[in-house]
Amino acid sequence: LASECPPSGPHRRHSLRQSSMGDPALDLAHVKGRCEEVLGSVEATGPSTRRSDVGVWVAAGSAFAVGFVLLSLVIWSRAVDASPPSAGSKDAGKPTGWLGAVGAIVSFGSSQLLVRLSSLEVADPAARPGFFTAFGALGNGVGNILVCTVLRACGLLDGTPTFHQVCWGVAGAADICIIQILAFSACQILGIAAAPAMWCGVGMFTSFVWGVVAFQEPIHSVFGALAALIFLAFGVAVVASAQTDVPPRAAQLLSKRCFSKHVEPGMRDVGLDCGDLATDSQSGSTDISVCGEKQPAPSSLEFADARTCTLDSAGTPSGPSPEALAKGLVLTLCVGLLDGSLMAPYKLFVRGASVEDASTSSPSERNLTYAYLEAFGWGVLLCFPLLLGGQALLWCHRHGSLLGFGRSAQVCVLPGVLSGVLWAVANACSVHASEYLGVALGFPLTQSCIVINALWGISLFDEMPGLPRRAACATGIFAILLGASLLALYARG
């Protein structure tokens, strides 16, 4: 038996065998009770189980510490650089760009870690994404403003953005807030190993379309760009398949052998996370025993909290249910489309600066990227009270009063703020990576953060259990990174 949501932590193995003996009603209740003990408290919409959050906090805190140190080094090296790259050039011989790339990889790859905290389950499930996003906006806004304050103190940012430029910063802020709400739910369903990889692939495709169609950016090679898009599409599809039973089925067909173990003669046994299933080759009956006690059970079990136990052909957890998988894929697609559109407000910000009348208060051309970060930071900070107020109104609509609102919001404060700060640190690092390494090198390097996401998802949350699924995920991530590299090389004029 397997939950819709793959269990995390070391897999406890129990022998589950169905028999034709005993009282079915009594035995089924016993089987359900034992499954409850094994599965724990599991949400039907995502691969989450009761677990200690200590490892998650340690991982997120370590990522923040590493990102903070690297960003500090990046800003220092940028401030003492007497000849930084001019517009359109690059200087990969200096450490600034490489430090920025590593900082972006670590911070971006860890920014979704805290959405999987089991302590968040205390909050109202309907309000949880909104609370997390609201406090994430607070951390993101404060982080960007603090970074820009340091940049001003170092002489790297001067002038004041115009009203129109601030508006584009607010537009980008609204985009990232919507992204965070959808990304929270997508990660709850598909996990942090698969969801970020898929929306990164869709986002790169969307960004390419924006550049070519809306901003008429030249393409260096049409065939190279098409190859990049094919690899991106292939990678996204393969990572998505890792959430289904396609990889185990494919592995079974390729190996031409069953997933069998040593069982009684005439019985076929397949491994399960919460038990073992054995089938009598002659009668076709399925035996399930719990802790050595033979108990009858139907082919699937449904619990009162909407969870179901299902088994795929390879005897491993089959991942989210078809309905949950479809919802997760739609959410991930929306995140990718919005994520790929984040560059549009920045492009319009820069274009607006080029047509504004030259004034002493406007940011200089080389500081426009930093000026956008500042306007973006103020925009995200402005979204915080709007998001929190919106959650209060929705809470009143659902519950009739604000009773319990404070408690649900409180558990999301620290995780949301830290996630927002991590994103701000990663964004600032990625700006310097692209400035010094160029788009062709800096862009695919920062996108390799999806490898960090996958490693966290597998090591901390045991996502996508089984070698076939993890191999499919790794293959898809490699294809996405290859597509990102080709896109950076051939899709830029």
**pLDDT surpassing 90 at residue 113:** yes
pTM for the complete prediction?
0.75
**Span 141-160, mean pLDDT?**
90
pLDDT tens-digit series, residues 279-315: 443 444 444 444 444 444 444 444 333 334 444 444 4
Distance CA(280)–CA(19), nearest Å, equals: 10
Rounded mean pLDDT, 138-163: 89
* pLDDT tens figures, 315-327: 445 567 888 889 9
Top pLDDT among 424 and 216 is at 424
Check residues 26 and 111 and name the one with the higher pLDDT.
Answer: 111
Which pLDDT value is given to residue 92?
A: 80
Give the per-residue pLDDT at 66: 96
Confidence at residue 365, expressed as pLDDT on a 0 to 100 scale:
58
Specify the pairing of strand 277-280 against strand 301-302. unpaired
pLDDT attached to residue 173: 93
pLDDT per position as a tens digit, 389-427: 999 999 999 999 999 999 999 999 999 999 999 999 999
pLDDT at 54 over 70: yes
Task: Name the average pLDDT for the chain.
Answer: 78
What pLDDT band is residue 221 in, cutting at 50, 70 and 90?
A: confident
Tokens of 183: 């990304």
- pLDDT at residue 416, rounded to an integer: 96
Task: Please say whether the dihedral angle defined by the alpha carbons of residues 399, 404, 405 and 411, taken in this order, is positive or negative.
Answer: negative
Phi, psi of 417 (to 5 degrees): -65, -45
Alpha carbons within 13 angstroms on the beta-carbon side of residue 128 total 21
% of the chain at pLDDT higher than 90: 42
pLDDT on residue 319: 61
pLDDT of 18-47, one tens digit each?
434 444 444 445 544 544 444 443 333 344
What are the CA-CA distances from residue 414 to residues 65, 300, 386, 418, 438 (Å)? 16, 39, 19, 6, 35
Residue 264: the pLDDT is: 47
- pLDDT at position 350: 77
Q: What is the pLDDT, as a whole number, of residue 333?
A: 95
pLDDT tens digits for range 222-266:
888 899 889 999 999 999 988 888 888 888 888 765 444 444 444
pLDDT tens track for 177-215: 999 999 999 999 999 999 999 999 999 889 888 888 888
